[in-house]
Amino acid sequence: MTQELATRYPLVMVPGLLGFVRVVVYPYWFGIVSRLRQGGAKVFPVMVSAVNSTEVCGEQLLQQIERILRETGAAKVNLIGHSQGALTSRYAAAKRPDLVASVTSVAGPNHGSELADYLGRSFPLGTVRRRLLNGSMRLMAGLMRLLETGYRGPKLPIDVDASHQSLTTEGVALFNHRCPQGLPETWGGQGEELVNGVRYYSWSGTLQPGRSDRGRNRLDGTNVTCRLFARTFTREVGHCDGMVGRFSSHLGTVIGDDYPLDHFDIVNQTLGLVGKGADPVRLFTEHAERLKAAGL
């Protein structure tokens, strides 16, 4: 085994909404964890509530971090969060910066998701449509829990409304007031990389006709889903990955915000079927090298 990706601190991979460690034999971080481990990195994909508020998920993540530190003897961890997992990671770092060396946001809705705003308008609280939407989310989360084989901890609570509110522009604005670390001062800018001893990074993608909808993505239904979801965007129309806007994703040092990757492609879903010329796994291996070079 080589050691070119062996970071000083373990890499903790935090999933987003409806996330999992492994469904039957299929991993959330398809091809990513295995490649990082091949390079010598210590990698821990973790589980938090598949559907719940950022704060609830953040407290669960802190428990996981403490467990990993006990098991490895490491002093800190590097958190890598996808989608809502980025907010979950930010919460943990804000509350316990002594335990976190870095936070990396991968397509994180760090200023909220316009898709979440649209769903809030289209499915208002108290309506039949909202109850049906919530029921379908609970059903999906319950089914995935039954099929989960990579997590063996206690049953984690589900709260659909709390999760939705955590992802809206309004909800994330409240969260950002409490956890501002790494946020840009201007829209579309970069934030401070080092805050309270924690380094902050981010990257994200955008839907790019002729690239992200070509290649193996022609066989990937999630790419079609992202293209449909992108129609709900108004502020960042034409500049989103289907679920998160390009500039909304910015946190700390922005490694890139226009990779030809939709919201699922960026973590190599589904089965590594991504757009023409895209290589999401390489983004993670390059970042491990970046963290290692920074002494993290």
Chain segment 139-167, per-residue pLDDT in tens: 999 999 999 999 988 999 999 999 999 99
Rounded to an integer, what distance in angstroms lies between the CA atom of residue 115 and that of residue 230? 8
> Do residues 252 and 193 lie in contact, with contact meaning Cβ atoms separated by under 8 Å?
yes
Helix and strand counts by DSSP (H, E) for the chain? 9, 9
Answer yes or no: is 54 within a domain: yes
Q: Tell me the residue type at 28.
A: Y
Report pTM.
0.97
Q: Under a CB-based contact definition with an 8 Å cutoff, are residues 287 and 201 in contact? A: yes
6 within domain boundaries: no
Identify whether the C-beta of residue 248 lies closer than 8 Å to the C-beta of residue 110. Answer: yes
Tell whether 131 is covered by a domain: yes
Classify residue 126 as exposed, middle or buried by CB count within 10 Å of its CB (0-12, 13-18, 19+): exposed
**Rounded Cα–Cα distance for residues 31 and 19 (Å):** 16
- Domain for residue 183, yes or no? yes
Does residue 4 sit within a domain? no
Residue 277's pLDDT is 87
User: Distance between CA 160 and CA 157 in Å, rounded?
Assistant: 10
The model's pLDDT over 64-123, given as tens digits with 9 standing for 90+, comes to: 999 999 999 999 999 999 999 999 999 999 999 999 999 999 999 999 999 999 999 999
Active site residue 53: no
Position 1 in a domain: no
Mean pLDDT of the chain: 96
Q: Is residue 66 part of a domain?
A: yes
Catalytic residue among 117, 213, 241, 262: 241
Q: pLDDT for 204-213, tens place per residue?
A: 999 999 999 9
> 1 pLDDT exceeds 80?
no
Q: What is the rounded CA–CA span in Å between residue 261 and residue 270?
A: 12
Domain region containing 225? 11-293
Q: How many domains does the chain have?
A: 1
Q: Which CA distances in Å does 266 have to 158, 222, 262, 270?
A: 25, 12, 6, 10
Q: Which residues contact 91 (CB under 8 A, 6 or more apart)?
A: 54, 55, 57, 58, 61, 175, 179
- Looking at residue 154, the DSSP 8-state letter turns out to be P
Quote the pLDDT of residue 240.
98
The domain that holds 168 is classified in CATH as: 3.40.50.1820
- Given the residues 49, 53, 82, 83, select the one marked as catalytic: 83
**Cα separation, 58 vs 49, whole angstroms:** 10
Q: Is residue 171 part of a domain?
A: yes
Residue-wise pLDDT tens digits, 251-279: 999 999 999 999 999 999 999 999 988 99
Query: Which one-letter amino acid corresponds to residue 16?
Result: G
**Residue 51 Cα distances to 144, 165, 274, angstroms:** 11, 11, 26
Helix (H) or strand (E) holding 101: strand 100-106
239 is catalytic: no
Phi, psi of 68 (to 5 degrees): -65, -40
Model confidence at 2, pLDDT cuts 50, 70, 90, reads: confident
For residue 153, the Cα-to-chain-centroid distance in whole angstroms is: 21
The active-site residue out of 82, 164, 250, 263 is 263
Confidence at residue 290, expressed as pLDDT on a 0 to 100 scale: 98
Residue 241 is a catalytic residue: yes
